[in-house]
Chain A
Amino acid sequence: MSEPILELRDLRVSITEHPDIQIVKGVDLTIRPGEVHALMGPNGSGKSTLANAVAGSPAYKLDSGQILFKGEDVTAMTADARARMGMFLSFQYPTAIPGVTMVNFLREALKARRGQEMPAREFLGELRETLGTLKMDESFARRYVNDGFSGGEKKRAEILQLGMLKPDLAILDETDSGLDVDALRTVAEGVNALRTPHIGILIITHYQRILNYITPEVVHVLVEGRIARSGGAELALEIEENGYDPILRELGAVEEVVS
Chain B
Amino acid sequence: MAETTTQTAAVPAPYAEDAVTAAAERRGEPAWLVERRREAARAFAATPMPTPALRPWKYTDVTALDIGGFAPVGQSPTTVQGTPPAGGFAGSLADALADAAHAEQVRQHLGTLVPATEGKFTAANQALWTGGAYVYVPRGQAFEQPVVVTLDVPAGDAGAVFPRLLLVAEAQGEVNVVLRNTSGDAPLLAPGVFEIFAGPDAKVRVLVDGRWGDATQEFTTIRSRLDRSADVLVASLALGGRVVKQTTEALLEGDGANSTIRGVALGDGEQHFDFVTLQDHSGEHTTSDVAIKSALAGASKSIYYGITRVGETAAGAEANQENRNLLLSGRAKADSDPVLEILTSQVIRCGHAATVGPVDQEALFYLQSRGLSSRQALQLMVAGFFRTVLAGIPLEGLEEDVSAVVVEKLATAEL
CB-based closest 4 A-B pairs:
A99-B384, A112-B371, A100-B384, A109-B370
**Interface check A48, CB cutoff 8 A:** no
Task: Say how far B248's CB is from chain A's closest CB, in angstroms.
Answer: 22
Q: What string of 1s and 0s marks CB contacts (under 8 Å) between B359-387 and chain A?
A: 01111011111111110110011011111
Q: Which residues of B contact A150 (CB under 8 A)?
A: none
In the assembled complex, the CB of B399 is this many whole angstroms from the nearest CB of chain A, namely 9
B residues adjacent to A (C-beta < 8 A): 360-363, 365-374, 376-377, 380-381, 383-388
Please give, as numbers and ranges, the residues of chain A lying within 8 Å of B361 by CB-CB distance.
58-59
Q: Is A8 interfacial (CB 8 A cutoff)?
A: no
Q: Which residues of A contact B374 (CB under 8 A)?
A: 78, 80
Tell me the complex Cα distance, A57–B370, Å.
Answer: 12
Kindly state the separation between the CA atoms of A89 and B369 in the bound complex, as whole angstroms: 7
Per the bound structure, the CA–CA distance linking A165 and B367 in Å amounts to 13
Query: CB of A207 within 8 A of chain B?
Result: no
Judge whether A95 is part of the interface by a CB distance below 8 angstroms: yes
Mind listing 28 A-B residue pairs with CB under 8 Å? A57-B365, A79-B365, A80-B371, A80-B372, A80-B373, A80-B376, A83-B370, A84-B371, A97-B363, A97-B380, A97-B381, A97-B384, A98-B385, A99-B383, A99-B384, A99-B385, A99-B387, A100-B383, A108-B370, A108-B376, A109-B367, A109-B370, A109-B372, A112-B371, A112-B373, A113-B371, A145-B366, A165-B371
- Cα separation A161 to B376 with both chains bound (whole Å): 18
Complex interface residues of chain A between 147 and 204 (CB less than 8 A to chain B): 161, 165
- Least Cβ distance of A21 to chain B in Å? 19
Q: Bits for A210-233, please: 1 = Cβ < 8 Å to B, else 0.
A: 000000000000000000000000
In this complex, which of A59, A96, A98, A165 has the most chain B Cβ atoms within 10 angstroms of its Cβ? A98
Whether, in the assembled complex, A94 has its beta carbon less than 8 Å from a beta carbon of chain B, the answer is yes
A91 interface residue per 8 A CB criterion:
yes
- Tell me the nearest residue of chain B to A93, going by C-beta: B362
The answer, yes or no, to whether A244 is at the interface (CB within 8 Å) is no
Can you name 17 extra interface pairs (CB under 8 A) apart from A88-B369, A108-B372, A112-B376? A78-B368, A78-B373, A80-B369, A80-B372, A80-B377, A83-B371, A89-B369, A96-B363, A97-B360, A97-B367, A97-B384, A98-B384, A99-B383, A99-B384, A100-B387, A112-B373, A161-B370
| B239 to A: closest C-beta gap in Å | 17
Q: Within the complex, what minimum Cβ distance (angstroms) separates A55 from chain B?
A: 5
Q: Closest Cβ of chain A: how far from B386's Cβ, in Å?
A: 7
Chain B residues with Cβ below 8 Å from A88 are 369-370
A95-B360, A95-B362, A97-B363 as given contacts; A144 in contact with B384, CB under 8 Å: yes
Q: Does A123 contact B (CB under 8 A)?
A: no
Interchain CA distance A84-B362 in the complex, whole Å: 19
| Of the residues A79, A97, A113, contact of B368 by C-beta under 8 Å | A79
CB distance from A173 to the nearest CB of B (A): 11
Q: Kindly state whether residue A105 has any CB partner on chain B within 8 Å.
A: yes
One of A99, A105, A144 near B370 (C-beta < 8 A): A105
Interface band, chain A: 20 to 34
| Shortest beta-carbon distance from A170 to chain B in Å | 12
Number of A-B contacts (CB under 8 A): 88
With a cutoff of 8 Å between Cβ atoms, the chain B residues found around residue A133 in the complex are none
Give the residues in chain A near B388, CB-CB below 8 Å: 98-99
A30 close to B (CB within 8 Å): no
A88 → chain B closest CB, angstroms: 8
Residue of B nearest to A84 (CB): B371
Cα A57 to Cα B387 in complex, Å, equals: 27
Whether, in the assembled complex, A33 has its beta carbon less than 8 Å from a beta carbon of chain B, the answer is no
Whether, in the assembled complex, A43 has its beta carbon less than 8 Å from a beta carbon of chain B, the answer is no
Cβ distance B293 to chain A, nearest Cβ, rounded Å: 10
Residues in B whose Cβ lies below 8 Å from that of A84? 371
A85-134: which have CB < 8 Å to B?
88-89, 91, 94-100, 104-105, 108-109, 112-113
Nearest CB to that of A90 among chain B residues? B369
User: With A and B bound together, what is the CA distance between A96 and B381 in angstroms?
Assistant: 11
Closest approach, in angstroms, between the C-beta of B371 and any C-beta of chain A?
Answer: 3
Q: Does A41 contact B (CB under 8 A)?
A: no
**Inter-chain contact A109/B371, CB cutoff 8 Å:** yes
Instruction: Give, as a whole number of angstroms, the nearest-CB distance from A76 to chain B.
Output: 15
Residues of chain A contacted by B362 (CB below 8 angstroms): 59, 95
Most chain A beta-carbon neighbours within 10 Å: one of B366, B373, B376, B381: B366
In the assembly, what is the distance between CA of A84 and CA of B372, in Å?
Answer: 8
What sequence of 0s and 1s flags, for each residue 53-84 of chain A, a beta carbon within 8 Å of any chain B beta carbon? 00111110000000000000000001110011
How many whole Å from B27's CB to the nearest CB in chain A? 46
A95 touches B368 (CB 8 A): no
Report A-chain residues with C-beta under 8 Å of the C-beta of B372.
Answer: 80, 108-109, 112
A95 to B380, CA, bound (A): 14
CA distance A99 to B387 in the complex (A): 5
Given A79-B369, A80-B372, A80-B374, also A105-B380 (CB < 8 A):
yes
Q: Which of A78, A79, A95 is packed against the most chain B CB atoms within 10 Å? A: A79
- Is the pair B373, A95 in contact by a Cβ cutoff of 8 Å? no
B380 and A100 contact, CB distance less than 8 A: yes
Chain B residue at minimal CB-CB distance from A109: B370
Enumerate chain B residues within 8 angstroms of A78, measured Cβ to Cβ: 368, 373-374
Q: Report B-chain residues with C-beta under 8 Å of the C-beta of A59.
A: 361-362, 365
B180 to chain A, nearest CB (A): 24
List, in ascending order, chain B residues with CB within 8 A of A108's CB. 370, 372, 376, 380
Closest A-chain residue to B391, C-beta based? Answer: A99
Bound: A56/B374 CA distance, A: 13
In the bound complex, do residue A99 and residue B371 qualify as a contact, i.e. CB atoms below 8 Å apart?
no
Q: A63 to chain B: closest CB distance in Å?
A: 20
